[in-house]
Structure 1
Amino acid sequence: MPKRRLSGRQIERIQTIQDRRRQRLATRLDAAASDLDTESLPPARGRIVVRHGGHLAVEDEAGQIIHCRARQNLGHPVCGDHVVWHHTADQRGIVTAILPRDSLLSRPDFSGRDKPLAANLTQLAIVIAPRPEPSDYLVDQYLVAAEMMGVRAIILGTKMDLLSADEQHLFQARFAHYAEIGYPLTWISLRAAGAPQRLLGQFAGHTSILVGQSGVGKSSLIDVLLPDRGIQIGRLSQATGLGRHTTSAATLYRLGPGAETGGALIDSPGVRSFRLGIISRENLQQGFRELRPHLERCRFTDCRHDQEPDCGVQAALAAGLITPQRLNNFRHLLAESEQSRN
């Protein structure tokens, strides 16, 4: 018997019920945590490796994993957060503060509210492939998100072995304009000699997250970047019992051998349905970096860069300084955001 499809209102109602249940559980955990006397416990710094409900796996400065709970009214801790925590008598810990975040990746939930996914990223890696057919509109959404967060964005073209030499040339030329405006492009086939080393070189020293369409090969990239992922999951499970939940929760992993300058990768199922939320025209145009130098040349401060006279952005387009597809994607995103707002 085919499954009955749920309406948007039904999905939102289910989400609300689940949020209430989680809140009741969190309240009970907060009440238990608030009874602990943390004033007499020495504070320590750490980083959240994974969160599952009210449970946190925190890596301390020595690299040890501690099973913690969050103190009442702490806020919404997420994977990647730097925190202050205290040891408790049961050889576990309690997180008492979230340190200021350098960046935060979030996406809107069913009700349109921003849901944090991961904190303190330094790099967004956008994965494309010949198949499925890549969407430059989706790529531009990811790039806007990276610009808004203030993190580095790179584009990884995978599965190049699926194309002939001529097809590779045409495919890479299609995305060459991204390199021209400053986004690094790396074209790779994981079957080629030296591919793992080239890949690790793009991630070393960064806390990264992979984003992209389903089927582009993110799982294969993760296998190369994290050859010891199973060992890391086992370590998490042994220390906290949370390891079995890493397939359903954002988890921070240390990069595998070969990343000589260190680095980490956050694997988050939440980015599989990533999309931009409501965004203002001002913020959106700042998210298209090649538009910025021409904005002051627009006659009108609220210029939409469409049909307005004396538009600096349209003049730059005519001069070949901006690609038509990028400007079209800007206009589409602006219209979509305005429609969502109304």
Structure 2
Amino acid sequence: MAKKQKLSKGQARRIRANHQKRLQRAKESSADTQTSEFDSDNLGAQEPGVVVSRFGQHADIETPDGDVLRCNIRRTVTSLVCGDEVLFRRANVSDGDIAGVVELVEERRSQLTRPDFYDGVKVVAANIDQILMVSAVVPEFSTQIIDRYIVACEDMGIAPVLLLNKVDMLEDEDRDMFMAILAEYHELGYDIHLVSSHSGEGMDNLKAELVDKNSIFVGQSGVGKSSLVNSLLPDAEILTQEVSSNSGLGQHTTTVSRLHHLPSGGNLIDSPGIREFGLWHLEPERVAWCFKEFRQFLGGCKFRDCKHLDDPGCLLREAVENGDIAEFRFDNYHRIIESMADGRAGARNPRV
């Protein structure tokens, strides 16, 4: 008997992709079957609502009266995330846990996106006013991660707010070091908050920042996002996880994005932890523009194709030498550009 030929990586990837497509079609067909049961006189008039959570082909929709109903999602609704404003139809007679059907998503005022190797640019949240970027003293403080989030915020036109969490663990000399770094961001006009959900430091100022706004917390796992949410919303019962003593890394604790109402009247979306925030879907020129202090120098370099490294007549390099641009921000810019090339290569050749 001839030996069975081993599949190439490309063949295995195509087989798996086709299998996933068949599974997805089966799920959509099942969802359509459920939805069709509501396509008669069993559906009421269209009502407005807000998505508070999304579960596969279902979503929890909150009505203006505060009721939360689990609904099917029409196949014509191609994207639905926390914060979306929708029109849905309530079922006169519910089918198990399903109480209605989402039929239309209203135009978004804003949205946070991140690239995905398989899904392209993926929407994370909608209709948000500000993004609270959480860093912490442990497991690791990284200005590169901060600048990645800032680039995303600038690209989407959403205000970023920087939070340094777990400051109760800082010694005085360490606090001075962190303050010197954060001062660079403050000079650029970004709001900065030093907070601790353990000691309560800075929490009152943070609560004031959230009043009457739709906000989302982002940051690497282990920086204390869920602990902060628990402090802001003690009844939310968000799970928390200590940083691993072996690896020093945080563990993913939140598995599904969910919108919570704050006592102040604003809303907060708690989302799954993101270790990296890829930017490979952006052009290098766009990334440079997203560094606010670069803008006045862009387009003025001696050469049009200036890479802003050691190119003669580079205005960005001169600005760094003159102290007009922080050297660590300039270095982070180049790290982001390098990672974008790696990300695009990964997008072309995703892991099997």
Which whole-Å CA distance do the structure 2 matches of 1:193 and 1:122 have between them? Answer: 25
Return closer, same or farther for 1:12/1:290 CA change in 2, 3 Å cut-off.
farther
Return closer, same or farther for 1:160/1:208 CA change in 2, 3 Å cut-off.
same
- Aligned partners of 1:34 and 1:71 also within 8 Å: no
Spell out, residue by residue over 1:319-341, the C-alpha distance to the aligned partner (whole angstroms, 9 max, x if none).
Answer: 21111111111112112213433
Match of 2:267 in 1: 264
Unaligned 5+ segments in structure 2 are 1-8, 239-252, 346-352
Residue 28 of structure 1 aligns with an amino acid whose one-letter code is S
CA drift of 1:109 comes to 3.0
Residue 271 of structure 2 aligns with an amino acid whose one-letter code is S
Match of 1:163 in 2: 170
Alignment pair present for 1:180 and 2:187: yes
What RMSD in Å do the two structures reach over aligned CA positions? 2.8
Match of 1:287 in 2: 290
Spell out, residue by residue over 1:4-28, the C-alpha distance to the aligned partner (whole angstroms, 9 max, x if none).
Answer: xxxx988997677456424421232
Return closer, same or farther for 1:318/1:229 CA change in 2, 3 Å cut-off.
same
Spell out, residue by residue over 1:246-304, the C-alpha distance to the aligned partner (whole angstroms, 9 max, x if none).
Answer: 9532111111x3x2xx2111111153554334321122112211111211322344332
Partner SS for 2:86: strand
Return closer, same or farther for 1:14/1:216 CA change in 2, 3 Å cut-off.
farther
Partner SS for 2:274: helix
Which whole-Å CA distance do the structure 2 matches of 1:193 and 1:247 have between them? Answer: 22
Return closer, same or farther for 1:127/1:42 CA change in 2, 3 Å cut-off.
same
Which whole-Å CA distance do the structure 1 matches of 2:334 and 2:229 have between them? Answer: 34
TM-score of the aligned structures, taking structure 2 as reference length = 0.80
Match of 1:30 in 2: 32
Unaligned 5+ segments in structure 1 are 1-7, 232-245
Which whole-Å CA distance do the structure 2 matches of 1:11 and 1:323 have between them? Answer: 44
Return closer, same or farther for 1:68/1:173 CA change in 2, 3 Å cut-off.
same
Match of 2:261 in 1: 254
Residue 76 of structure 1 aligns with an amino acid whose one-letter code is S
- Pairing of 1:1-342 with structure 2 (within 5 A): 17-18=19-20, 20-34=22-36, 36-37=39-40, 41-91=44-94, 92-111=99-118, 113-192=120-199, 195-230=202-237, 247-255=254-262, 257=263, 259=264, 262-269=265-272, 271-272=274-275, 274-342=277-345
Match of 2:249 in 1: none
Which whole-Å CA distance do the structure 1 matches of 2:115 and 2:278 have between them? Answer: 7
Partner SS for 1:334: helix
Residue 186 of structure 2 aligns with an amino acid whose one-letter code is A
Percent identity, aligned pairs only, is 34
What is the number of equivalent residue pairs in this alignment? Answer: 317
- Aligned partners of 1:38 and 1:86 also within 8 Å: no
